[in-house]
Amino acid sequence: MRLFDPHIHMTSRTTDDYAAMAAAGIAAIVEPAFWVGQPRTHVETFEDYFLSLLGWERFRASQFGIRHFCTLALNPKEANNPRIAQGVIDLLPRYLEKDGVVAVGEIGFDDQTEAEAKYFSSQIELAKEFHLPVLIHTPHRDKKRGTERTLALVRESGIRPELVLIDHNTEETLPLVLPSGCWAGHSIYPKTKMDEQRMVQLVKQYGGERMVINSAADWGVSDPLKVPQTVQAMVEAGIPHSTITRIAWDNPVNFFRQSGRLDLNVSEARPFVDQRQLWEGNSVLRGQSPVVDTSCDSYEPRSRS
Amino acid sequence: MSPPESSYLDLVRRRCAAHAMTWWDSVLDTEAASASRSELSKAYSKAVRTLGSDRLEFAQQEIDSENAARFLAFQERPLHEFGRAALLLFALELLPADEHVEFVDNLFMYGDSREQEALLRALSILPDQGRFLLTAVEACRANVQTVFEAIACENSYPGCYFPESNFNQMVLKAIYTGVSLRRILGLPDRITPTLKGMASDHIKERTAAGRPVHEDIALIMNP
């Protein structure tokens, strides 16, 4: 079964992670622009970050047979930083046109401040202008109220709900999100957010329609294999294969395909792996023999050994 | 330019080893310090290596006779931290008032974690403290736990100056990060129906997820 992790921050991960993800069946990923762990002090830092998501990281993923797409935005936390917030918004139109950008995101609420609401709304307007879907982060704190405010803001914006993926859902927020017509993301984490067994229960209760799972793996204690591990938990719980395939591949594909940039002709098959390739003179290899596997016209699961 | 009224500078100086004292005196050369914000900022960074990390203990005599009482928040803290607080006070005495907010915010934004922590603990001894609210609120967004605790814990600033929404978010973050709510000064006076509602929602969310609830949440629900 080919798998899609529609929310993972590979910039913070290693080549070992890429190799393990590919071995576990992950064939495509979306990397949302996000908070890098500490506040940035210059708008220009965002520009370099966006460029790395569009360039080096996409190449790095390809070297392990994984298709890499990204979403770009001013993240909710740094929307509160008056030094850089408007400057990043002004920067976005140039980058939202780029190939490989499949949504505006992640946007939304963190502390639920006025500044966050302002830039949340303005970035939905950007998404409408560029005909892109939006990926929305929901807050860790005061989550239910934050999700209610999110849904209200989405309604007010006039964006069609099928263009909206609301992420990091829990038992408390999913019953709010699904009736809205938006897609519902779930971040499977080792200790916080959602876990595999709780996700199984949610799928049993709500089915697979507009349901998405991701690892949201980043620089913290997180696990880039949470999508395959959750798939395994669903298999063991007897959830129908068609439902699992829908959640772990079809739904993220159908959501991000609305961007018109998912490049499905390639991502439905595993891309060729040719580690002899260079990116601006740089290789991911450090003395290893390059893997060259140009026979992957269609994806076949690989052994983890 | 005459040196500022500076009993707090002497509180640091008398704890300095010989080499540190020479450095401290050179930093406090008011003419040089007045000429350069960057020199003050560099001294603020260097303080950790020159002043060291011995734990500060104010003598009763100092507390009684030298107006050290307002510095008691630094009791048992490393000397470099109090040294940085003293340097910050010194800098604000030298700089024009309309530069204070930007200077403090820059010192925070470009500081390493220990520089940020010293600044946050010093907020409550700075003149006209309410001016520095945005810096204090921004500190609550830190992922570095020691920086978050420097503003949230054993610090009177949030209780005195934070608007309700910012204070409530800080309390929730303390709950999420496992900090004892007993360390948040002024919490009993800031409990509102909104904060109780947020705490109640948190309990429901944790319960639905089958996860334990922070026991200190009772301090909000049943104050």
DSSP A9: -
Instruction: Enumerate the residues of chain A whose CB falls inside 8 A of the CB of residue B169.
Output: 111-112, 141-142
Q: Which residue has 């200790």 as its token pair?
A: A191
Cross-chain residue pair A41–B210, CB shorter than 8 Å: no
Question: Is the predicted pLDDT of residue B18 greater than 60, yes or no?
Answer: yes
- Residue of A134, A146, A162 lying closest to A110 (CA atoms): A146
pLDDT for residue B4: 45
Longest pairwise C-alpha distance within chain B = 65
Instruction: Enumerate the residues of chain A whose CB falls inside 8 A of the CB of residue B172.
Output: 141-142
Q: What are phi and psi of A98, to 5 degrees?
A: -70, 150
Cross-chain residue pair B210–A110, CB shorter than 8 Å: no
Nearest CB to A143; choose among B166, B173, B205 = B205
Q: Tell me the ipTM for this assembly.
A: 0.79
- Distance between A141 CA and the closest CA of chain B, angstroms: 6
pLDDT for residue B5: 47
Angle at A14 between CA B177 and CA A54, to 5 degrees: 100
Question: Is the predicted pLDDT of residue A305 greater than 50, yes or no?
Answer: no
Angle at A122 between CA A117 and CA A126, to 5 degrees: 145
Chain B residues within 8 A (CB-CB) of chain A? Answer: 109-110, 134, 137-138, 141-144, 165-166, 168-169, 172-173, 176, 198, 201-202, 204-205, 208-210
Sign of the Cα torsion B170, B171, B173, B177 reads positive
- Tell which wins on pLDDT, A254 or A288: A254
Element housing B82 (H / E): helix B79-94
Instruction: Enumerate the residues of chain A whose CB falls inside 8 A of the CB of residue B165.
Output: 111-113
Confidence band, pLDDT 50/70/90 cuts, at residue A278: confident
- Residue of B5, B7, B182, B186 lying closest to B82 (CA atoms): B7
Question: Is the predicted pLDDT of residue B3 greater than 60, yes or no?
Answer: no
Question: Is the predicted pLDDT of residue A300 greater than 60, yes or no?
Answer: no
Nearest CB to A111; choose among B144, B169, B205 = B169
- Per-residue pLDDT tens over the stretch B114-130: 999 999 999 999 999 99
DSSP B4: P
Q: Which residue has 């080499």 as its token pair?
A: B19
Give chain A's length: 305
Residues 6 or more apart whose CB falls under 8 angstroms from that of A116 comprise A76, A79, A80, A108, A109, A110
- Residue of A172, A150, A19, A30 lying closest to A100 (CA atoms): A30
A138-169 per-residue burial string, b: 16 or more CB within 10 A, e: under 16? bbebbbbbbbebbbebbeebebebebbbbbbb
For range A194-200, the mean pLDDT: 94
Q: Helices (H) and strands (E) in chain B — how many of each?
A: 15, 0
Confidence band, pLDDT 50/70/90 cuts, at residue A298: very low
Minimum CA–CA partner of B170 in chain A: A111
Confidence band, pLDDT 50/70/90 cuts, at residue B71: confident
Q: Does A42 touch chain B (CB under 8 A)?
A: no
Spatial distance between the Cα atoms of B181 and B213, rounded to a whole number of angstroms: 13
- Residue of B75, B109, B107 lying closest to B92 (CA atoms): B107
Cross-chain residue pair B169–A142, CB shorter than 8 Å: yes
Cross-chain residue pair B138–A170, CB shorter than 8 Å: no
Confidence band, pLDDT 50/70/90 cuts, at residue A286: confident
Q: Which residue has 């580690």 as its token pair?
A: A275
Spatial distance between the Cα atoms of B209 and A172, rounded to a whole number of angstroms: 9
Q: Which residue has 């408390």 as its token pair?
A: A172
Confidence band, pLDDT 50/70/90 cuts, at residue A109: very high
**CA distances (Å), A115 to each of A81, B41, B134, in order?**
9, 30, 13
Q: Is A82 helix (H, G, I), strand (E, B) or coil?
A: coil
Give chain B's length: 223
- Tell which wins on pLDDT, A192 or A67: A67
The size of the A-B interface in CB pairs under 8 A is 57
Please say whether the beta carbons of B92 and B119 come within 8 A: no
For range A30-56, the mean pLDDT: 94
- Per-residue pLDDT tens over the stretch B105-114: 999 999 999 9
Side-chain half-sphere of A11: how many Cα atoms within 13 Å? 21
For range B42-65, the mean pLDDT: 88
pLDDT for residue A268: 56
Confidence band, pLDDT 50/70/90 cuts, at residue B66: low
Mean pLDDT for chain A overall: 91
Question: Is the predicted pLDDT of residue A304 greater than 60, yes or no?
Answer: no
pLDDT for residue A265: 62
Please say whether the beta carbons of B43 and B78 come within 8 A: no
Spatial distance between the Cα atoms of A78 and A4, rounded to a whole number of angstroms: 28
Question: Is the predicted pLDDT of residue B104 greater than 50, yes or no?
Answer: yes
**pTM for this predicted structure:** 0.85
Cross-chain residue pair B138–A81, CB shorter than 8 Å: yes
pLDDT for residue A213: 98
Please say whether the beta carbons of B142 and B181 come within 8 A: no
Question: Is the predicted pLDDT of residue A266 greater than 70, yes or no?
Answer: no
- Per-residue pLDDT tens over the stretch A159-183: 999 999 999 999 999 999 999 999 9
What is the residue type of A270?
Answer: R
- Per-residue pLDDT tens over the stretch A118-144: 999 999 999 999 999 999 999 999 999
- Tell which wins on pLDDT, A180 or A305: A180
For range A187-210, the mean pLDDT: 93
DSSP structure string for B87-123? HHHHHHHHS-GGGHHHHHHHHHHT--HHHHHHHHHHG
Question: Is the predicted pLDDT of residue B87 greater than 90, yes or no?
Answer: yes
Question: Is the predicted pLDDT of residue A212 greater than 50, yes or no?
Answer: yes
Select from A40, A43, A80, A111 the residue whose CB has the most chain B CBs within 10 Å, as the one to mutate to test that interface.
Answer: A111
Instruction: Enumerate the residues of chain B whose CB falls inside 8 A of the CB of residue A39.
Output: 109, 138, 141
